[in-house]
Amino acid sequence: MSATYQPRPAASTTRAVTKVAEGYRIVGNPFKPANAITVSDTVWKKLTSLRNEIDAAFRDSVDKDWVLEKTSSGDVRASVSVFNARPYVHVRAWSGGFPTRNGTSVRNWGEFAEILRGGDDDKDSGIDVDEDEDVKLGSETYAAILTESAGAEMKRLCEGCVNDWPSQLDHACITGCPSTVAEAVANVSVTPQYFAVRLAQAAMERAYVLGRVPREVLDAVIERHDGHLRATLRESLSSDY
Ligand SMILES: [Zn+2]
């Protein structure tokens, strides 16, 4: 029997990351806190900088791993692996070329990416507050438009709606069929014109004065948030999840 451990992804999606003296503690499974992994600030920073690459591998469901740190007993890696036809993101200590029990496995990548984004912001003292507020409001606006458009696109793609089938069971728009969800989420886009209108409305409702023109805000939002917002949207629309 092999002494190495093949981590089995947990079903739970709630993960906690806490800042500790040694760096960041990532609790993978709340019932097995002993398996939590603590990474240094440097490793955490490396992890946050890999967010887009991890997102791409997760989206395309391809196995991939990145070495975050070499240690005397092995290394710490971030990886994407496909298990039962689903991608998972892992942050784990490896030893002798195999993953160990120490670390975390995440199915809800959108949520984890959001935590990594937060880690980014902590470090990013160069960004001024107004600019950050613009992007924050822009991100909320962008997410709202994506959600609405994806809902409409689901209906357009739904065979049940097209054929006017009476049984709700035949409607991908209601049942959240994962392939229809993936197609719908991939199909939608946000035009600069509509974004500008909605951003202005959102700013007005909050009596907030934007520091930048909508087009710049949109570019920043797409660059920083498009990947994880779509991942989160796919997760929320899929019944399978
Ligand atoms: Zn339908």
Domain boundaries, the chain: 16-123, 129-237
Asked whether the whole model's pTM tops 0.75, one would answer no
Find the 36 Cα to ligand 1 centroid distance in Å. 43
- The confidence score (pLDDT) of residue 174 equals 87
- The confidence score (pLDDT) of residue 29 equals 62
Residues 132-146 as b/e (b if ≥16 CB within 10 A, e otherwise) read: ebbbebbbbbbbebb
Find the 171 Cα to ligand 1 centroid distance in Å. 4
Task: Choose among 176, 61, 66, 157: nearest CA to 107.
Answer: 61
- The confidence score (pLDDT) of residue 128 equals 37
| 195-214 residue pLDDT tens | 999 999 999 988 888 888 99
Find the 187 Cα to ligand 1 centroid distance in Å. 17
Find the 161 Cα to ligand 1 centroid distance in Å. 4
Question: 11: which DSSP letter?
Answer: S
Find the 180 Cα to ligand 1 centroid distance in Å. 11
3-state secondary structure of 163: helix
- The confidence score (pLDDT) of residue 34 equals 75
Find the 230 Cα to ligand 1 centroid distance in Å. 21
Find the 151 Cα to ligand 1 centroid distance in Å. 10
- The confidence score (pLDDT) of residue 204 equals 92
Q: Which residues in the chain come in under a pLDDT of 50?
A: 1-3, 10-14, 120-131, 240-241
Write out the DSSP string of 202-231: HHHHTT---SS-HHHHHHHHHHHHHHHHHH
Which residues line ion ligand 1, judged by CB < 5 Å? 158, 160-161, 171, 173
Distances (CA, A) of 171 to 13, 94, 159, 241: 27, 44, 7, 17
- The confidence score (pLDDT) of residue 125 equals 34
In DSSP terms, which residues pair with 201 in a beta bridge?
none
Angstrom distance (rounded) from CA 133 to CA 131: 5
- The confidence score (pLDDT) of residue 31 equals 61
Find the 169 Cα to ligand 1 centroid distance in Å. 9
Q: Which two tokens stand for residue 28?
A: 């993978």
CATH of domain 16-123: 2.30.31
